[in-house]
Amino acid sequence: MPKLRRRHVGATLTAAALVLGTTACGSRVDDTGEASAAGRAESCVDTSGDSVRIGLLNSMSGTMSISETTVRRSLELAVEEVNADGGVLGKQLEVVTEDGASEPTVFAERATKLIQSDCVAAVFGGWTSSSRKAMLPVFESNDALLFYPVQYEGLEASQNIFYTGATTNQQIIPALDYLKDELGVTSLHLVGSDYVFPRTANAIIKAYAEEHGIEIVGEDYEPLGSTEGIQTIVNRVQGSGADAVFNTLNGDSNVSFFAQYANVGLDAEAMPVLSVSIAEEEVPGIGVEKLEGQYTAWNYYQTVDTPENEEFVAAFKEAYGDDAVTSDPMEAAYTSVYLWKGMVEAAGSFDVADVQAAADGVGFDAPEGPVTVNGDNHHIAKTALIGRVNAEGLIDTVWSSDGPIDPDPCLEGYDWAAGMDKDETYC
Amino acid sequence: MTRRWAGSASVLSGYLVAAVILFGAAPVLLSDFRLRLLAQFLCVAMVAVGIGLAWGSGGMLTLGQGLFFGLGAYIMAIHLQLSDAGPAGRPAFMVTGSGLPWWWELFRNPVTAVLGIIAVPALLALLLGLGVFRRRVKGAYFAILSQASAAAFALLLISQQNTVGGSNGLSNFRQFFGFALSDPVNRRMLYFIAAGVLIAMVAAVHQLRRSRYGELLTAVRDGEERVRFLGYDPALVKVLAYVVAAVFAAVGGALFVPIVGIISPSNVGVVPSIGFLIGVAVGGRATLLGPVLGSLAVSYAGSTLSENVESLWIYLQGLLFVLVVAFLPGGIGSLGAALRGRRRAVGDVPGRSAGHGPPGRPLVDGGGPERAPAGARSGGV
């Protein structure tokens, strides 16, 4: 009898719990698939005091921490400068920092915390596409703002994100133009890490190549962070006889790739490699002697000759030591703080809707040169720079586009890209 | 008889306290953000409850629960993606893909999706378990095998850019069986579901442990050969616990997806699989509530500490695990018993006190000659 009773009570309790849980129902999704706006959380940003909070969300631990720590530093530098200069709308910026731990779920969790608990007016950070994809629904459902500072694969344009790195038509396509027009390349071998950025980049490259009569002689992928297959890939690259290699490898795979590349006797003269994920910070890790003369495509190098960059590099070295180098994502992060400041001041308000409405046309004389926000797709117009690694491990500009290129994340302005699969949510 | 009654009352009050805390206090006291976080921890605790059964009661060191967690999570994510895309639609992330893989269609229907979340991991665990336990593979060999399966699964997912989003995983879900995920009321409902499911799982494990089957499972853990001589098949006994643990992990994974909003290979590989285990070890794997409480405590400590001191938690977590494994194999819950045991006279046989698993058990079973894996005896590697 006691046994029976106990079971009975346990079952009743759990059943009651389940029923209680399922009766608390909120709004359903309507036919168009859009969630009703009524259920959205209200913003809790407090702008009544003489300071306003912003969030910095970067990976300070895990595999991405080396790269993202540099972004954190340039964000902090920008905030310091803004505060020393009187703040934004007369309010000092109060920074709340969070660690994304190189983990998409942690990015989503911490972004929610920054928005809902810390009530920040904007969040700056993220690096990998997976971290951005994880945060995107958080920012959209809370109607908050994220400033994302890294070049990426495009085909996205959320109204709650400002993308201050390059999209593909500001990096990949100018790089292809350069290879075709300046180096006379007629055949390409594609090498990349196996994830969304290289896959998308190579889809774009193949569409471009078909249009412009460039032959793609090989396409190889290596799992992210792996080096096992690099030897085979380098052998295939050598055997393919391509005019040049388009390299979208990321991280440690590059170290192995360029080591093997030198081993089999290839160099920038024999077969140039154009890389889109190697910046100043990565050069020493791969080896200056192995990279010297090879090409990169970015929108900023430490050697860029503008007065703003001179100040930026000097301020950065003063804060973090003479050995510190500056790179494209760091500059894009630094710029993002100033662009947000510009938008808030143009709007005269910290409110997300006001900032979004005022964003179009907001400009900044960035270290890379003048940049302007596009209010439709939330990317920024920026100048494309092709560089070559020099003997000191820095990168010299060898070619630049005629002024800033308007961002076109969905590649709507390119007829040859019309047949490509695109994300219908944004494109 | 009085002891039985006392036990019954304490069990009942235990469930009551849990229900009051989870359904009453937490939703009132916690902000939406903290409640979401607690819901996430509850999902991880579901995996821990399963590990408690398989490892604590059954002696199987399941180092690869990420595999089952991931299966449940990805099936749920595929279903959510398809319901967002609408009838005959395909998910937005497949920008570089060609068509919808046929096995996605299996999970378009909500009923088959829920069935799949339970049946697919159960079937896989059954096959894996039969293959492994029939061959009398156990101890460290089983642990390595299960860990390798989680690692292989994560690699497989990363290589499937066009079908499951590769290293980005699946994210950006807008609805959960028709309910908008952006609505705080629905998010609260998800929390209640997670809390209810977790309590149900603990109750199920409680019943299992008290049943004849539970006695048999513990007996297999403590002396597999002896159970075999008594006429039982230890492989079947172990397989059942392994399947239950797999299903619990899968359900935890399935609820994790709408609550957290993303699932990626970094949630299913070796590191998260070990992460699931740490809470169980710390809380006390052989007790009923040790795995749940340990898992919740470890999740909470990890989240709170890393909010304040970046990257400190990783080191603390490692240290905690090493300390518990080295000095307190029974978990924090056995601290009192361990201290009492020390005070007792030397030479006292370490008693098999009130039931399951004395504090001094080794981490991995299978040390003595009787427990050498069959493969080693027959000359295999």
B264: left (phi over 0), alpha (psi -120 to 50) or beta: beta
**pLDDT at position A41, please?**
56
Please state the separation of Cα B302 from the chain's center in Å: 18
**pLDDT at position B160, please?**
82
How many residues are present in chain B?
381
**pLDDT at position A417, please?**
87
Q: At A347, phi and psi to the nearest 5?
A: -80, -25
Between B13 and A123, the more confident residue is A123
CB pair distance less than 8 Å for A60 and B12 = no
- Read off the pLDDT of residues A217-242 as tens digits, 9 standing for 90 and up: 999 998 877 788 999 999 999 999 99
- The pTM (predicted TM-score) of the whole model is 0.84
Q: Quick one: pLDDT band at residue B357, thresholds 50, 70, 90?
A: very low
Taking contacts as CB-CB distances below 8 angstroms, the residues of chain A near B268 are none
- Round to whole Å and give the CA distance between A198 and B78: 23
Across the interface, of A2, A97, A195, the residue whose CB is closest to B161 is: A195
Q: What is the DSSP string of A237-278?
A: HHHHT-SEEEEE--THHHHHHHHHHHHTT--TTTS-EEESS-
Taking contacts as CB-CB distances below 8 angstroms, the residues of chain A near B311 are 60-61, 65, 99, 101
**pLDDT at position B94, please?**
66
In angstroms, the separation between the Cα of residue A126 and the nearest Cα of chain B is: 13
- Round to whole Å and give the CA distance between B255 and B193: 9
- Round to whole Å and give the CA distance between B266 and A131: 11
Quick check: B155 contacting A, CB < 8 Å? yes
Between B113 and B89, the more confident residue is B113
- Read off the pLDDT of residues A185-221 as tens digits, 9 standing for 90 and up: 999 999 998 888 898 899 899 999 999 999 999 999 9
- Round to whole Å and give the CA distance between A12 and A18: 10
Examine the pLDDT at A399 and tell me if it is beyond 70: yes
In angstroms, the separation between the Cα of residue A246 and the nearest Cα of chain B is: 19
In the structure encoding, which two tokens stand for residue A309, read together? 């960059």
A87: left (phi over 0), alpha (psi -120 to 50) or beta: left
Q: Quick one: pLDDT band at residue B7, thresholds 50, 70, 90?
A: low
Q: Quick one: pLDDT band at residue B350, thresholds 50, 70, 90?
A: very low
Between B77 and A31, the more confident residue is B77
Q: Name the β-bridge partners of A218.
A: A189
Q: At A128, phi and psi to the nearest 5?
A: -70, 155
What was the ipTM of the complex prediction? 0.76
Examine the pLDDT at B81 and tell me if it is beyond 70: yes
Q: Quick one: pLDDT band at residue B366, thresholds 50, 70, 90?
A: very low
Examine the pLDDT at A7 and tell me if it is beyond 70: no
**pLDDT at position A40, please?**
53
CB pair distance less than 8 Å for A196 and B166 = yes
**pLDDT at position B316, please?**
86
CB pair distance less than 8 Å for A2 and B200 = no
Q: Name the β-bridge partners of A215.
A: A187
- Round to whole Å and give the CA distance between B76 and B56: 28
**pLDDT at position A30, please?**
55
In the structure encoding, which two tokens stand for residue A102, read together? 């190189």
Q: Quick one: pLDDT band at residue B247, thresholds 50, 70, 90?
A: very high
CB pair distance less than 8 Å for B180 and A425 = no
Q: Name the β-bridge partners of A369.
A: A366
- Least confident piece of the model among A131-135, A269-273, B316-320: B316-320
In the structure encoding, which two tokens stand for residue B331, read together? 């978990």
Taking contacts as CB-CB distances below 8 angstroms, the residues of chain A near B16 are 13
Instruction: Judge whether A61 and B311 are in contact, CB under 8 Å.
Output: yes
Q: Which residue has the tokens 């690699």?
A: B155
CB pair distance less than 8 Å for B182 and A421 = no
Amino acid at B288: L
Strand, coil or helix: what is A72?
helix
B177: left (phi over 0), alpha (psi -120 to 50) or beta: left
**pLDDT at position B330, please?**
83
Domains of chain A with CATH codes: 51-166+311-319+327-381 (3.40.50.2300), 169-303+386-417 (3.40.50.2300)
**Beta strand pairing call for A215-222 and A273-275:** unpaired
Examine the pLDDT at B351 and tell me if it is beyond 80: no
- Least confident piece of the model among A77-91, B157-171, B195-209, B253-267: B157-171
- Round to whole Å and give the CA distance between B273 and B17: 30
CB pair distance less than 8 Å for B195 and A424 = no
- Round to whole Å and give the CA distance between A221 and B320: 39
- Read off the pLDDT of residues A410-420 as tens digits, 9 standing for 90 and up: 999 998 988 77
**pLDDT at position A202, please?**
93
Q: Quick one: pLDDT band at residue B41, thresholds 50, 70, 90?
A: very high
**pLDDT at position A21, please?**
46
- Round to whole Å and give the CA distance between B176 and B168: 21
CB pair distance less than 8 Å for A224 and B167 = yes
- Round to whole Å and give the CA distance between B113 and B357: 38
Average pLDDT over residues A49-59: 95
Taking contacts as CB-CB distances below 8 angstroms, the residues of chain A near B183 are 26-27, 35-36, 38-40
Q: Please give the helix or strand (H or E) that residue A357 lies within, else none.
A: helix A352-358
Shortest CA distance to A384 belongs to which of A404, A412, A358? A404
- Round to whole Å and give the CA distance between A244 and A274: 8
- Round to whole Å and give the CA distance between A130 and B261: 12
CB pair distance less than 8 Å for B166 and A18 = no
Nearest CA in chain B to A101: B311
- Read off the pLDDT of residues B182-241 as tens digits, 9 standing for 90 and up: 888 999 999 999 999 999 999 999 999 999 999 999 999 999 999 999 999 999 999 999
Please return the burial class of B24, using the count of CB atoms within 10 Å of its CB with bins 0-12, 13-18 and 19+.
Answer: exposed
Quick check: B36 contacting A, CB < 8 Å? yes
**pLDDT at position B344, please?**
56
**pLDDT at position B347, please?**
42
CB pair distance less than 8 Å for A133 and B266 = no
CB pair distance less than 8 Å for A141 and B200 = no
In angstroms, the separation between the Cα of residue A221 and the nearest Cα of chain B is: 10
- Least confident piece of the model among A175-184, B19-28, B167-176: B167-176
Q: Name the β-bridge partners of A219.
A: A190
**pLDDT at position A36, please?**
43
Across the interface, of A24, A104, A113, the residue whose CB is closest to B33 is: A113
**pLDDT at position B32, please?**
86
Q: At A99, phi and psi to the nearest 5?
A: -100, 120
Please return the burial class of A248, using the count of CB atoms within 10 Å of its CB with bins 0-12, 13-18 and 19+.
Answer: buried
Strand, coil or helix: what is B163?
helix
DSSP state of A92: E
Quick check: B118 contacting A, CB < 8 Å? no
In the structure encoding, which two tokens stand for residue B176, read together? 């959960």
**pLDDT at position B10, please?**
80
Strands of chain B (E only): list them: 170-171, 175-176, 179-180, 262-263
Q: Which residue has the tokens 């909470």?
A: B300
Taking contacts as CB-CB distances below 8 angstroms, the residues of chain A near B199 are 13-14, 17
Amino acid at B64: G
Quick check: B182 contacting A, CB < 8 Å? yes
Q: Quick one: pLDDT band at residue B2, thresholds 50, 70, 90?
A: very low
Please return the burial class of A206, using the count of CB atoms within 10 Å of its CB with bins 0-12, 13-18 and 19+.
Answer: middle
Q: The sheet that has A395-400: what strands, in order across it? A: A215-222, A187-193, A244-248, A273-275, A295-298, A385-389, A395-400
Instruction: Judge whether A407 and A169 are in contact, CB under 8 Å.
Output: yes
Strand, coil or helix: what is A57?
strand
Q: Where are the alpha helices (DSSP H) in B86-211?
A: 102-105, 110-134, 140-159, 161-164, 184-210
- Least confident piece of the model among A391-395, B132-136, B171-175: B171-175
CATH level 3 topology of B33-88+101-344+354-374:
ABC transporter involved in vitamin B12 uptake, BtuC (1.10.3470)
What are the residues whose beta carbons fall under 8 Å from the beta carbon of B342, sequence distance 6 or more?
none
Domain boundaries, chain B: 33-88+101-344+354-374
Q: At A269, phi and psi to the nearest 5?
A: -75, -50
- Read off the pLDDT of residues B273-329 as tens digits, 9 standing for 90 and up: 999 999 999 999 989 999 999 999 999 998 888 777 766 787 888 888 888 888 888
Q: What is the largest CA-CA distance in chain A?
A: 90
Q: Quick one: pLDDT band at residue A313, thresholds 50, 70, 90?
A: very high
Average pLDDT over residues B252-278: 93
| Inter-chain CB pairs, A–B, below 8 Å | 221
